Chains A and B, each alone.
Chain A
Amino acid sequence: SQTIHQWPATLVQPVGSPLSLECTVEGTSNPNLYWYRQAAGRGLQLLFYSVGIGQISSEVPQNLSASRPQDRQFILSSKKLLLSDSGFYLCAYKQRGNTIYFGEGSWLTVV
């Protein structure tokens, strides 16, 4: 069965510091991978998606970047965090059944 994990679960970082959130999927190959952000409030915003190694599409201009160094690994990064980067970040993958499944999420607080 497929599983998805992301870490760290909670992160408190000062403004201007770098960021690295990692996500891995197991039990499947060549999945579509996604990073979503849920800011205070409710809605989920798609940040990046990837259909293969090294293939990254950005949905919104921002202070963040994403990379996919391996088939089942998706990394969300920033060189210098802003206060506005605070939020709940969710990694997700799509399996052949055209359903998207989510990881446990990572809380980022920029102080």
Chain B
Amino acid sequence: AQTVTQSQPEMSVQEAETVTLSCTYDTSENNYYLFWYKQPPSRQMILVIRQEAYKQQNATENRFSVNFQKAAKSFSLKISDSQLGDTAMYFCAFMKHVASGGSNYKLTFGKGTLLTVNP
């Protein structure tokens, strides 16, 4: 079974600074997807960024970028120019294809990192 580990339960950063959230995963699969989701106080789960395992280039989305190290099974999220609205719980997630009688994909989540951006 796949596992996703986020070793930092809580982190804080000053507004406008850069912060990196860590994530490692364990899998024997070669083709899979990795995601970072953000869960603000409203509790809605919002996609931040995704990475396909077959792509060597690290994904970027505006101020958000990842450092994907496939051999090390590491997938960290860097947030640049942190803003107060970035305060949220951040979840790392892994998805592989599960071909059990039909096409399907399932997400496995880490336990999350609570990020607080301080003014």
Contacts and interface: CB of A to CB of B under 8 A. Distances in A.
Interface of A: 32, 34, 38, 41-44, 46, 49, 51-52, 55, 57, 88, 90, 92, 94, 98-105, 107
Interface stretch (B14-22, B75-83, B95-103): B95-103
Nearest to A90: B45
Interface of B: 33, 35, 37, 42-47, 50, 89, 91, 95, 100, 102-112
B108 to A, nearest CB: 8
A23 to B, nearest CB: 13
A52 B102 contact: yes
Contact of B50 (A41, A88, A99, A104): A99
A44 B109 contact: yes
A80 to B, nearest CB: 26
A105 B43 contact: yes
A102 B45 contact: yes
Contact of B103 (A42, A51, A102, A104): A51
A99 B112 contact: no
Contact of A102 (B44, B95, B105, B112): B44
B111 A42 contact: yes
A100 B111 contact: no
A100 B103 CA distance: 14
Given A42-B112, A100-B95, A100-B107, A105 B100 contact: no
Shortest beta-carbon contacts, A-B, top 6: A102-B45, A51-B102, A42-B112, A44-B109, A43-B111, A42-B111
A44 B91 contact: yes
Contacts of A41: 111
